Structure 1
Amino acid sequence: MSENKTQDLIDSIKNKGKSLEAEMSFFDHIDVLRKHLLRALLVVVIFTGLAFWFYEFIFNTVIMGPKKPDFWTYRMMCKLAAHFPSLGSDFCITKIGGKIINTEMAGQFTLQINSCVMTGIIFGIPYLLFELWLFIKPALHEKERQNASGFVFFASSLFIIGILFGYYIICPLSINFLTSFSVSPDIENTFTIDSYLSSVATLTIGTGIIFELPVVIYILSKFGIMTPKFMRASRRYAAVIILVIAAVVTPTPDVITMMVVAFPLFILYELSIFISANIERKKNKELYGTSKPNI
């Protein structure tokens, strides 16, 4: 009887030691993650400082660009209208309505801070992805490391493409529509600078995040949560969701503008199906020696 009690005591001590070891391991990982995030935060701070240094160019040329009639997007639209008269004269935008004002005493000061921080975050996200990859990499097997070696480049490229698409396509089209829309000639469109900056940031960064869809699908497929079969079966529902997103992001009344926004999202969805199917083929080949999906 005493031997059993002694053995139980020894087992409980061993289990306690294992739990303490696991707990320490968890906090060690948290500490490592904290160091990676601090380095990423430092990079964001550096880019924010550089944004302060080049603020005149960032504000007048970049942030206020979609509000100017000579913006690249509007010039290209006018060239298209000249070559394709069927688009109509309204397709060529030569004037942007609305007036931007500041209503707060510290409004322009906070505007500079917020826009510089936003710039620092945009430029710092690729490095943040790199730090996250450095954190995850030691937990992967050699073959998994090789398969995911291009994660940072792929995710950063999608984010940058999304940022450019949002800035040059979605942002100017939305701003032109919203600043010129009116329910009554007695109401003058006057917007605060905070509202304008918020719209530019939301449309630009939001599009960059949406373009990360293939990366999200890749991760979900790795965990077996998402399958190509499910995505193909849900293609019709996805099309409806994409059209709704395009209609909300670009509140313009014409179908052409909505389809311009929706088309890249359809491509991203099909690319996500391809990525998920490729992961499933590799899993089936490792488990069953065949690349054919299970039925």
Structure 2
Amino acid sequence: MSADDKEREEESQSAVISTEPELETPMEEDEMSLVGHLEELRRRILIVLVAVGVGSGVCYFYAEQLVAMITAPAGKLYYLNPMEAFFAYLKVSVFAGFLLALPVVLYQVWAFIVPALTKKERKMLLVLLPSSVLLFFVGILFSYVLVLPAATQFFMGFATETLTPMFSLGQYLSFFVSMLLPFGFVFELPLFVIVLAKMGIITSAFLRAKRKVVLVGSFIVGAIISPTPDVFTQSMIAIPIILLYEASLWVVRYVLRR
């Protein structure tokens, strides 16, 4: 082998060696980026768990008052085994603690996804998150003040001389949660419709054309998410959906001008 050939071989080997770190560097950066995202996700989940735990702990000190407020529409209740009352108080504390920590939970979700959003999307999300929390609590309040007492009295109306309503505390709390949560989500409907209108996906003309579909669909949704199969409870869910749809149509037509 000539001296020129040896020199060319050495240069090619040095070129391969010099390019190897350049190939590995982006892979290492991507791996560190993924690890960083997972670490941030873990940290925010821990913050959410701590917030819910602290909220539940605070609410546990007021569990007796909370249970009294929740069970007021049903009157006197019973617990059928020694552990039922304790677990009922625990469920009430966790449920109330989650509602208390909900702003913290949504903020952590927002803080995690906001780096991947554009400036316009960040502004929209900054409005959507507080609005969604407000509408969720309005739905829960609507159910507690109007729907829950009416539904409870409706079912207690089946009492006769030979039938006495004796509600279990645990069963009533399950009924309570199943009545409140659907209304919290149902009241998000105007926000959902307004977002679609802002994006140009739907218009007021489209909403007017779908009135009959919504009328039928609201009762189908009421039948699906209703905790009981009776028409009364289904109607109590369907009627707010129809009214919220009409309110959304009014906002899209006269406020957004679409």
Do Structure 1 and Structure 2 share a fold, with TM-score over 0.5? yes
* 1:240 aligned residue: 216
User: What is the CA–CA distance in structure 1 between the aligned matches of 2:103 and 2:52, rounded to whole Å?
Assistant: 10
* 1:30 aligned residue: 38
User: What is the CA–CA distance in structure 2 between the aligned matches of 1:210 and 1:249, rounded to whole Å?
Assistant: 15
User: What is the CA–CA distance in structure 1 between the aligned matches of 2:52 and 2:163, rounded to whole Å?
Assistant: 41
User: What is the CA–CA distance in structure 1 between the aligned matches of 2:34 and 2:212, rounded to whole Å?
Assistant: 43
Please tell me whether the aligned partners of residues 178 and 227 of structure 2 are also in contact (alpha carbons under 8 angstroms): no
Q: Which of 109, 128, 150 is 1:173 aligned to?
A: 150
**Which AA in structure 1 matches 2:131?**
F
TM-score of the two chains, using structure 1 as the length reference:
0.65
**Which AA in structure 1 matches 2:202?**
P
Gaps of 5+ in 1: 69-98, 282-290
Q: Deviation per CA, 1:214-268, whole angstroms, max 9, x where unpaired?
A: 445567788x8x93169635442222121244464686666xx866653432243
**Which AA in structure 1 matches 2:245?**
Y
* 2:189 aligned residue: 213
User: What is the CA–CA distance in structure 1 between the aligned matches of 2:78 and 2:88, rounded to whole Å?
Assistant: 12
* 2:70 aligned residue: 63
* 1:203 aligned residue: 179
Please tell me whether the aligned partners of residues 64 and 89 of structure 2 are also in contact (alpha carbons under 8 angstroms): no
| Pairing 1:41–2:49 present | yes
**Which AA in structure 1 matches 2:172?**
Y
* 1:85 aligned residue: none
User: What is the CA–CA distance in structure 2 between the aligned matches of 1:160 and 1:190, rounded to whole Å?
Assistant: 30
Q: Structure 2 vs 1, CA of residues 142 and 191 (structure 1 numbering), >3 Å: closer, same or farther?
A: same
Mean Cα deviation higher: 261-270 or 158-167: 261-270
Please tell me whether the aligned partners of residues 162 and 208 of structure 1 are also in contact (alpha carbons under 8 angstroms): yes
Mean Cα deviation higher: 269-278 or 209-218: 269-278
User: What is the CA–CA distance in structure 2 between the aligned matches of 1:202 and 1:58, rounded to whole Å?
Assistant: 17
**Which AA in structure 2 matches 1:65?**
A
1:100: how far off?
A: 2.8
1:17: how far off?
A: 5.9
Gaps of 5+ in 2: 1-11
Q: Deviation per CA, 1:246-293, whole angstroms, max 9, x where unpaired?
A: 464686666xx8666534322433455678899xx9xxxxxxxxx98x
User: What is the CA–CA distance in structure 1 between the aligned matches of 2:63 and 2:177, rounded to whole Å?
Assistant: 16
User: What is the CA–CA distance in structure 1 between the aligned matches of 2:53 and 2:61, rounded to whole Å?
Assistant: 13
1:134: how far off?
A: 1.6
User: What is the CA–CA distance in structure 2 between the aligned matches of 1:251 and 1:174, rounded to whole Å?
Assistant: 12
Q: Structure 2 vs 1, CA of residues 260 and 109 (structure 1 numbering), >3 Å: closer, same or farther?
A: closer
User: What is the CA–CA distance in structure 1 between the aligned matches of 2:150 and 2:63, rounded to whole Å?
Assistant: 25
Secondary structure (helix, strand or coil) at the match of 1:169 reads helix
1:186: how far off?
A: 4.1
* 1:71 aligned residue: none
TM-score of the two chains, using structure 2 as the length reference:
0.73
User: What is the CA–CA distance in structure 2 between the aligned matches of 1:196 and 1:239, rounded to whole Å?
Assistant: 30
* 2:125 aligned residue: 148
User: What is the CA–CA distance in structure 2 between the aligned matches of 1:176 and 1:202, rounded to whole Å?
Assistant: 16
| Pairing 1:51–2:28 present | no
Q: Structure 2 vs 1, CA of residues 178 and 20 (structure 1 numbering), >3 Å: closer, same or farther?
A: farther
Q: Percentage identity across aligned positions?
A: 27
Please tell me whether the aligned partners of residues 136 and 185 of structure 2 are also in contact (alpha carbons under 8 angstroms): yes
* 2:5 aligned residue: none
Q: Structure 2 vs 1, CA of residues 220 and 26 (structure 1 numbering), >3 Å: closer, same or farther?
A: farther
How many pairs does the alignment contain? 240
* 1:78 aligned residue: none
1:23: how far off?
A: 4.8
User: What is the CA–CA distance in structure 2 between the aligned matches of 1:124 and 1:19, rounded to whole Å?
Assistant: 39
Q: Structure 2 vs 1, CA of residues 148 and 54 (structure 1 numbering), >3 Å: closer, same or farther?
A: same
Please tell me whether the aligned partners of residues 177 and 251 of structure 1 are also in contact (alpha carbons under 8 angstroms): no
User: What is the CA–CA distance in structure 1 between the aligned matches of 2:238 and 2:206, rounded to whole Å?
Assistant: 18
Q: Structure 2 vs 1, CA of residues 129 and 214 (structure 1 numbering), >3 Å: closer, same or farther?
A: farther
User: What is the CA–CA distance in structure 1 between the aligned matches of 2:140 and 2:101, rounded to whole Å?
Assistant: 13
